[in-house]
Amino acid sequence: MKVQGEHLFKGTPQQVWDLFRDTEVMSAALPGTKKMELIGENIYEAVMNVRVGPVAGEFSGQLVISNENYPHSYTMTVEGRGKPGFMKGVGDVILKDQGGNQTSMEYVGEVQIGGKLAAVGQRLIDTVAKSIINQAFEILDNALTERVSADAEGREADYRKSSERDYAATVAKDLIKNVLKRTGSEDS
Amino acid sequence: MKPAPFKYYAPRSVPEALSLLHEHGYDAKVLAGGQSLVPMMNFRLVQPAVVVDINNIPELATIQGDNKSLRLGAMVRHAAAEKDSLVKESAPLVHESMPRIATMQIRNRGTIGGSLSHADPSAELVVVTTALKANFRIQNQSGERVVPASEFFVGLLMTAMEPEDLLVEIEIPPLPPRSGWSLKEVARRPHDFALVGVAAVLTLDRKDRCEDARLVYLSAGDGPISAPEAAALLQGEKITPDLIAAAADKAAVDEIDPGSDIHATAEFRRHLANVLTRRALEEAHQRALGGKEEI
Amino acid sequence: MKHKIIGKRVKRVEDPRLLTGGALFVDDVNLPNMLHAAFLRSDYAHARIKNIDTSQAKTIPGVVGVYTAEDMGDAWEPGPPLVSPPPTLENVIFNSRRQVPLVKDKVKHAGEIIAVVVAENRYIAEDAVEEISLEYEPLPAVVDLEKCLEPDSPLVHEDLDSNLAAHLIQQKGDYQKALATADLVIKKRFHLDRGAAAAMENRGLVVDWNEKDQHLMVWDATQSPIPIRNGMASRLGLRTHQVRVVAPFVGGGFGPKIMMFYAEEMVLPWLTRQLKRPVKWIEDRRENFYATTQEREQIHEVEMALSREGRILGIKQKIIHDTGAYDPYGLTTPLNTQSHSMGAYDVENYYSELTVVFTNKTIVTPVRGAGRPQGIFIVERMLDFAARELDLDPREIRRLNFIPPEAFPYNHEIIDQAFTDLVFDSGNYLPAYNKALEKIGYDKFIQEEQPRLRAEGKHVGIGVVPFIETTGVGPYEGARVAIEPSGKISAATGVGTQGQSHMTSFAQIIAEVLGVEVEDVSMVTGDTAEIHWGTGTFASRGAVVAGNAVNAAALDVRQKVLALASKVLKTPEDELELEGGQVRAADIPEQSISLGELAILANPFRGAVEPGTEPGLESTKYFGPAYGATAFGVHGMILEVDPETMMIKIHKYVTVEDCGTMLNPLVVEGQIHGGVSMGLGNCYYEKLHFDESGQLLNASLADYLIPSASEMPHIEVIHENTPAPNNALGTKGVGEAGAIPVPAAFMQALENALPEYNLEITETPLSPNRLYELLQKKERNK
């Protein structure tokens, strides 16, 4: 399955790069993250509870960063396993300075999903992947904003720890704006 | 294919159900018709610790209506809505969508509230209630609130409901006079999830100009996908085949975001959305005109 | 002989039980103290197992045991080779690699079994399966039929130096010579994809080892109970009499349930002997998609050489056949393709090269049609393309090439799946073909209806395709028929029942021969306690091979009845007749005796059985044909396609079938209906989607699309009768027939509905998405 997209972050390429390599922020902000650690050079180990609506499953795996070209591009290899199945993906990430403190992140990759998820969840997998990536980016963008303003104000950044429950309910509602754009806003 | 262990409760009243949901919160799943939840539990993709079965609460299964709205209890079965004359009269789009939902066996068991709470982007009711600007009455132990469809569906299989919330009723306002509607979809077999589908609602003014148009798509993104820009092209205009084609192009190219799966690529889905939008708008237009004029 | 009961539309005697839930299926077997098994199956298609940790799973209350290959010790051995390569051909390469009970080191397809949990119920067993932890080393998967033969391809079986499973060449005449004289040569490449049999009932087993009795009782949803009994006894070191296998009612076989010694059939008998308790396993639908055999993926490079007039001068083809991870069933399926690629036609020169490959996919064995649909698809499609090139009517090119009635028996000079000469015993093709054209209204459709509907903007098309089917092959089947003291008849045959109406149609044969009512005959099928010898229900052979064995046994009993009655009634045998359960003198009806009284007399309590005679009115007989009985048929359809949505609807469906003597036309029609539904699945709906890593992407009936009642057209069935000359009943098989020509007819009709696109469809199935792609390509090239 091909995964491809773009997200606009409110920060400079350097800030976005640093954010994505900060395991503390990642594990604090990303919902369902139980563990995220650097275990070797550019090798991260993570345990995540991935949740889409009522469907949930714990995955553990590794994330490897290669082909680094700070702060422009890198390659990401992800491998994870859990009871619902496994996934393996390789993708290239490109950061582009859009001026005005904005950075676009373009990503393109190939993801293989296996096991039960692939076998019985086929109809939704593509949408699930998009949805998970979009949600993660939205949350990380918020974290970035918090970090930038905390830095400016000279205080500790407060990354909202997302519980699973937050993820399903509260965090999801954060996305309403984004969704509303597409479902039509005549009622809001 | 057996589910993981879970605790089972079968409350006999709404307050009792709300109390259980309050107590178990995120660990609980509400069991209505079970046509999506039970297969997912059997595949062990969903493993709730607690199942709250609301099949024994008769007050959730009523169909009521007046000139302000049609009110469907969350536990109204698809089959009951399908056969109900009030539904047919006051919400013909809902009535028409029923035979497209899965099989008769599933409709005998599946419920309106269950389907909407599940928020599957391929579900006809999700799209139809969005197109009809339905309101969702939600209760929890602290009280009740009403959420419009546009805020109810928040993402893939996700709604604006908190874990302790229960959807109790769906209110569907009547369409204004001189409105037409259509639901078109393409499915591999009639009972399959549609590859793509569209619900169209069109209201004309006295001079046959489009006063209001709504297009909402199923299987075209992570929820019900509206096409406001396509609808805006129609606004204030006389409906012509060229205009319909322009709106269909706009929606299919710019506004929907379908995924690819083994049954259809995103490209094929956009093509189908285009074809179906044309057919749906034509039908909705005919109906708005009272079926008298040809376009 | 004029039949009174054979050939009548007798309603199925088994239906009341089946329809009211009163019939026994394996899952209905519940024994005291019974345990339940659940399997840990590989998520990966190709992976090395590094470590298995079952300790956590064993701690779950209710778990009785968790076992891996290591635990089986010496009992671990691969399944037997069911069918060896043909000994009659030269230069055959065949690498036999068979499935294993539990994977030891390397997983070779997704769904292969790594461990088994036995617990007090299936829920607990499945809970425990989730707690087994596994370390895998995923390996690149072998999926593509052509890439797998490239030198750098990963290997399914690392002890082989390639993924080649088998290779052989069959030929007749001289294709090169035919090519030299040809006016037209058509070359096409075909890709036919994989589907599932998807029987309504999945597989299932209950095994019960009785330590005191030293006896193993097995209920197995199998098509082949007797070979299963023989194999289980031999694997467990038991005598055959210590094992009884019952295949009770089985909810659909379609081929995969012939497969002897699925992993589960090897593991469960071992478990019950270890635990000395009954163990049950019922395959769930997801398991069925991974673990039950599948069929049909083949790539063909085909050449057809023709004369200007449209005579086929020769056919050449190279077939690549996917056997999946193992090849226990030998070459049955692709040999069928080879023997059906000349269709119903007189082809003098034929060259067919077969390459079989191993891939990291579920094992391939026959599925209803078994290689035949592929052969018919190829020859019929090639004729359509040739007709277009030569500007011939598609009907004319077929009429020109049919084997003429005087040419039978027609020897194709190659071998078929039974390793005997491919001889078509009989046939009369042209009248049946013309009848199908007439019934579907071909002329009227082309001349009037199609132009009228096209003017209305409707895209309608017609397709009519003839086909042959080799049926009723050996080796043999047996039947035992006995008259009870009550006068009722008990009969048994070794072929199991998966919906074929054996209880009715075999009873009709016996009722005819012994002059009783169909209801007086109690037919047992698929119980090894009732008959010792047999092979199974497959290859469209029940009505031919078992049917003729039943007939022979009934005739022998009739002879015994006449001999005894002749003495009792003091009337010569040739003056006796059997009617209404009585034997009577033909001209003196009151001089009679009932079959029951005769049965009592034949089993005296005092006195002696005379030397050279046997007690009772009973006989066991066998039938084994030298070669098969070749059936013929024609399918025609009129369909409509919406070229905007790619949705297709079939408006009319006509079949003419010639399966020789019919035992029961209702049953024949039911077989055709079922076959057509599977055929339509192969046309448009059913495809197993394996991705590059060998993952099956649609292991559920939500995504694997089987035609349902709403997709089925009304099917008109017309019967022709060219009796088989080599069996007493004159029967030919019809169990697979319905599925065989459907894709060829469907694609012909679809192309006919869309003439402006000039499509040449060389693939199955054709999904709406794929049709869209084909039409887009044509649009771009316009």
What digits encode the pLDDT tens for the residues A19-43? 888 888 877 777 788 888 899 989 9
State the pLDDT at residue C245: 97
Give pLDDT, residue A179.
38
Q: Which of C138, C697, C702 sits opposite A118 (nearest CB)?
A: C697
C-alpha dist (Å) from residue B221 to B87, B258, B259, C518: 28, 5, 7, 60
Name the pLDDT band for A130 (thresholds 50, 70, 90). confident
Band (A163; pLDDT cuts 50, 70, 90): very low
Lowest-confidence pick of A163-172, B247-256, C389-398, C523-532: A163-172
For A2-180, CATH gives 3.30.530.20
Please answer whether residues C518 and C508 qualify as being in contact, where contact means their C-beta atoms are separated by less than 8 angstroms: yes
Cis before residue C765, ω within 30 degrees of 0? yes
Assess whether pLDDT exceeds 50 at residue B59.
Answer: yes
| C133 — pLDDT class (breaks 50, 70, 90) | very high
Average pLDDT of chain B?
95
Q: What is the ipTM of this complex?
A: 0.95
pLDDT of res. B264: 96
| E-state strands within C403-455 | 410-415, 421-424
- Residue C535: beta bridge partners? none
Is pLDDT of C737 > 70?
A: yes
Structure-token pair, residue C452: 């009228």
pLDDT, average across residues C528-544: 91
Helix residue spans in B148-264 (DSSP H): 149-152, 228-234, 241-250
**C15-21+474-623 is a CATH 3.30.365.10 domain:** yes
Secondary structure (DSSP) of C85-101:
PPTTSSS-EE------S
pLDDT exceeds cutoff 70 at C572: yes
Residue A93, pLDDT > 60, answer yes
Chain C, nearest residue to B196 by Cα = C645
- H or E element, residue C582: strand C582-585
Residues of B in contact with A128 (CB under 8 A): 156
Which of the residue ranges B169-183, C71-85, C322-336, C634-648 would you say has the lowest mean pLDDT? C71-85
Interchain proximity C702–B264, CB inside 8 Å: no
**pLDDT score, position C588:** 86
For position A48, what pLDDT does the model report? 86
Residue from the list C286, C698, C769 with its beta carbon closest to the beta carbon of B264: C769
Q: What is the pLDDT of residue A54?
A: 83
- Could you tell me the residue ranges of all domains in chain C? 15-21+474-623
DSSP tag of C447: I
At residue A180, the pLDDT reads 37
User: How is chain A split into domains, by residue range?
Assistant: 2-180
CATH numbers and ranges of domains, chain B: 7-53 (3.30.43.10), 58-172 (3.30.465.10), 179-288 (3.30.390.50)
How many residue contacts between A and C have a Cβ separation below 8 Å? 42
Model confidence at A176: pLDDT above 70: no
Contact A131 B155 (CB under 8 A): yes
Q: H or E segment at A133?
A: helix A122-153
Partners of residue C635 on adjacent β-strands: C465, C655
**What percent of chain B stands above pLDDT 90?**
93
**Residue with token string 């006389």:** B238
Nearest CA-CA distance, residue A175 and chain B, Å: 7
Tokens representing B27 are 């660990």
- Asked whether the predicted pLDDT for residue A186 surpasses 60, the reply is no
What's the longest Cα–Cα distance across chain C?
93
> In terms of Cα–Cα distance, which of B52, B69, B65 is closest to B17?
B52
Residue of A nearest to C111 (CA): A115
* pTM above threshold 0.90: yes
The tokens describing C445, both together, are 């459709």
| Closest residue of chain A to C699, computed from CA coordinates | A119
Q: Does B40 touch chain C (CB under 8 A)?
A: no
Count CB atoms within 10 A of the CB of residue C728.
14
Q: Does residue C655 register a pLDDT over 70?
A: yes
- Which amino acid is located at C627 in the chain? Y
A116 touches chain C (CB under 8 A): yes
Among residues of chain C, what percentage have pLDDT more than 70? 100
Q: What residues in C contact A86, CB-CB < 8 Å?
A: 43-44
Does position C647 have pLDDT exceeding 80, yes or no? yes
Give the model confidence (pLDDT) of B154-169 as tens digits. Answer: 988 999 999 999 999 9
Q: What is the DSSP string of C246-264?
A: E--S-S--SSGGG-S--HH
E strands present in chain A:
2-9, 33-40, 43-52, 55-69, 73-82, 85-99, 102-114
Q: Which of A88, A115, A120 sits opposite C700 (nearest CB)?
A: A120
Q: Write out the two tokens for B82.
A: 């399908």
Token digits for A122?
Answer: 């086929």
Distance CA B1, CA C285 (A): 8
Helix (H) or strand (E) holding B28: strand B28-31
Q: Do A185 and B214 touch (CB under 8 A)?
A: no
Q: Indicate which of C697, C698, C705, C767 best probes the interface with A, i.e. most A CBs within 10 Å of its own CB.
A: C697
**Cβ contact C691:C765 at 8 Å:** no
Q: What is the pLDDT of residues C171-230, one digit of tens each?
A: 999 999 999 999 999 999 999 999 999 999 999 999 999 999 999 999 999 999 999 999
Paired strand residues for C727: none
Residue from C50, C44, C69, C77 nearest C154 by CA: C44
Give the model confidence (pLDDT) of C332-366 as tens digits: 999 999 999 999 999 999 999 999 999 999 999 99
Report pLDDT for C612: 78
Residue B291 has what pLDDT?
A: 54
The mean per-residue pLDDT over the stretch C576-601 comes to 93
Compute the average pLDDT of residues B202-231: 96
Residue B106 in tokens: 């599933």
